Structure 1
């Protein structure tokens, strides 16, 4: 991915330099003919020189067209690449980061110092299997989408939210404390209470756990994840 970005950047810079040089050449060509009428007269009188200059101008024009086409293709490539990245790193059902997207976040915590004040929150929908069995996967999928929307709307103010897979979700908080996490949990529970009042036939029931690394002292993010998972599933 990094190599691809470097290639695209180098290619774009090269094309930009070519475009600038070509425009400068065309501008100089026009200025010379404008500021030197005698040269212009001689150019039109000398058939061979006129043909050579005309062919050179046409070639430069074609180069300009191809350069503009290259910029168009670069823009198209960037848009397609962005769409592919979204597809690769966002969960197709809920639209929030999937495990691949979360892995990118995990990689930013590459030292014990960067993990020092991180909090990891993990939550599962405990009645999803029951809903799938009794009401069907369409209702279950809608429950997943609704919960991810609630979790994201509440969690975005605290940290990064993502779907870890199945009915399991994560939130990573850079500067977590018990007060911060309890306030988040209270806000989430309030949103779920309001949701369940409107969806009493298929209420969302959750189980959660969180760990503060200032207490766990994990040196690797994977360790912090494992400890949170074990706390959620003792």
Structure 2
């Protein structure tokens, strides 16, 4: 086996499509909107790609994404070979079995177990769609950021994602009380990942987040085929809500912050 830098979108896509429900984020990052901020590493055998690691550098803290997908030894080998090229500090979404490869060089802070979910039953979306949703834009940035401060301070919101046109909210008495949007959207690769979903604590229990998610998904399905999301494994309320919308678990991973010792 040999480790290589990957530069061919077609080659990477061919590999990721083998399990696209698990690989929504990586597929989306092939899009021109994200591509220049990505570095790709692969493990090959007889010229055939066996494993892939993605380093996304478009955020304040780079993010490393790697899914073993049944072959821990191969992903561990790729991670070991890639280790000298990794940043001194980064966030990661990794299969938990492989992170020990980095523990000699990095301090590792564990942020919990997560599920990747994929929309499998689109018919359920219509039950929760809300007619009074409003599309959000840069003009609403102050209200958006205030809602996240009050309701979801650990969010992954990037204001430039408003340019996708897939951020929606619910207002009450001129106050933004519920919001949802996308982390990744690629009409070229026909995938999207929804996220940054929250409702103000004073307005929870009214189905607002269900309505926001349902509407976003129905709008996305006009241009994409696969919709995914990430959710904490110890959040049963969120898991139940996503299942109501037709999402099912596609895989597991864990999140970490790593910093050179």
Shorter chain as normaliser: what TM range? under 0.3
> Whose strand proportion is higher, 1 or 2?
2
TM-score, with length taken from structure 2: 0.22
Rg larger in structure: 1
